[in-house]
Amino acid sequence: MILDRTPKILALDDDATWLEQIPLIFEDHGYDVQTYANIDQGLIAIENNFYDVVLLDLNFVGDRRTGLDVFRRISSKDSEVDVIVISGETDPKRLIEIVNAGITHFIPKPASVNEIRESVTTAIKRKQLRRDSILLTTKTNTLLVGTSPLTIKLKSDILQAAKVGVKDILILGESGTGKEAVAKSIAELADPSKRFYPVNCASINDGLAESELFGHVKGAFTGADRDRMGAFETAQGGFVFLDEIGDMPLHQQAKLLRVLQERKVQRVGSSDEKAVSFKSISATNVNLENAITNKRFREDLFYRIAKFTINIPALRDRMDDIPDLVTFFLTSKYKNQVTITPQAIQLLFTYHWPGNVRQLEAVIDIMVIRCENKIIREKDVCQAIPDLSRLFTPKQAVTLLGKHGHSAISQERKRFQKAITDASGDRTEAAKLLNMSRATFFRRAKELGLVADRRKVTRAEDISI
Kindly state whether residue 137 falls inside one of the protein's structural domains. Answer: no
> In sequence order, what are the residues at sequence separation of 6 or more whose Cβ sits closer than 8 angstroms to the Cβ of residue 41?
421, 422, 424, 460
- DSSP helix/strand/coil, 453: coil
Q: Is the peptide bond before 110 cis (omega within 30 degrees of 0)?
A: yes
Residue 172: give the domain boundaries.
149-313
Same domain, yes or no, for 34 and 172?
A: no
Q: Are residues 273 and 367 in the same domain?
A: no
Torsional sign, CA 336, 342, 343, 348: positive
pLDDT at position 397: 40
Q: Which residues of 176-191 are buried (b: 16+ CB within 10 A; e: fewer)?
A: bbbbbbbbbbbbbbbb
If asked whether residues 361 and 451 sit together in one domain, one would say yes
- Asked if residue 431 is part of any domain, the answer here is yes
The verdict on 291 and 157 lying in the same domain is yes
Q: Does residue 370 lie within any of the structural domains? A: yes
Q: Which of 258, 290, 313 is the last residue of a domain?
A: 313
Asked, for residue 1, whether it belongs to a domain, the answer is: no
Same domain, 370 and 451: yes
Residue 386's domain is classified under what CATH number?
Answer: 1.10.8.60
**Sequence-separated (6 or more) residues with CB below 8 Å from residue 195:** 187, 235, 236, 237, 238, 239
Q: Is 280 helix (H, G, I), strand (E, B) or coil?
A: strand
Q: How many CB atoms lie within 10 A of CB 390?
A: 8
How do beta strands 53-56 and 32-36 pair?
A: unpaired
Last residue of a domain, one of 102, 132, 162: 132
Burial class (CB in 10 A: 0-12, 13-18, 19+), 428: exposed
Instruction: Outline where 239-370 has alpha helix (H).
Output: 250-262, 288-293, 299-305, 322-334, 342-348, 356-370
- Say yes or no: 155 and 302 in one domain: yes
Q: How much is the pLDDT for 389? A: 54
Q: First and final CA of the chain: distance in angstroms?
A: 37
Q: Are residues 304 and 322 in the same domain?
A: no
Name the helix (H) or strand (E) containing 157. Answer: helix 149-164
Q: Is residue 96 part of a domain?
A: yes
DSSP character string of 20-32:
HHHHHHTTTTT-E
pLDDT for 454: 38
Spatial strand order in the sheet of 32-36: 32-36, 8-12, 53-56, 82-87, 105-108
pLDDT at 455: 40
Q: Round to whole Å and give the CA distance between 263 and 275.
A: 6
Same domain, 179 and 285: yes
Please report whether residue 2 resides in a domain: no
- pLDDT tens per residue, the chain (465 residues)? 334 568 889 999 988 888 999 999 998 888 889 999 988 888 888 877 778 899 999 888 888 888 888 888 888 766 678 899 998 887 888 888 888 888 888 998 888 899 999 999 999 888 787 777 766 666 655 568 888 888 988 998 998 898 887 889 999 999 999 999 999 999 888 886 778 999 988 877 655 567 888 888 888 777 778 888 888 988 888 899 999 999 998 888 988 999 999 999 888 888 888 888 899 999 999 999 999 999 999 999 999 999 999 999 999 989 889 999 999 999 988 888 899 998 899 889 888 899 999 999 999 999 999 999 999 999 999 999 987 755 544 334 434 443 334 455 566 677 787 888 888 778 888 888 888 888 878 877 776 666 544 344 444 445 444
Residues 101 and 186 in one domain: no
Measured between alpha carbons, how far is 139 from 136 in angstroms, rounded to an integer? 5
Among 107, 132, 157, the domain boundary falls at: 132
Task: Determine if the pTM surpasses 0.85.
Answer: no
Is 142 inside any structural domain? no
CATH of the domain at 262: 3.40.50.300
pLDDT at position 135 is 66
Do 257 and 383 reside in the same domain of the chain?
Answer: no
Residue 49 lies in a domain: yes
DSSP state of 225: -
Same domain, 308 and 398: no
Q: 308 with 323, same domain?
A: no
Q: How many domains does the chain have?
A: 3
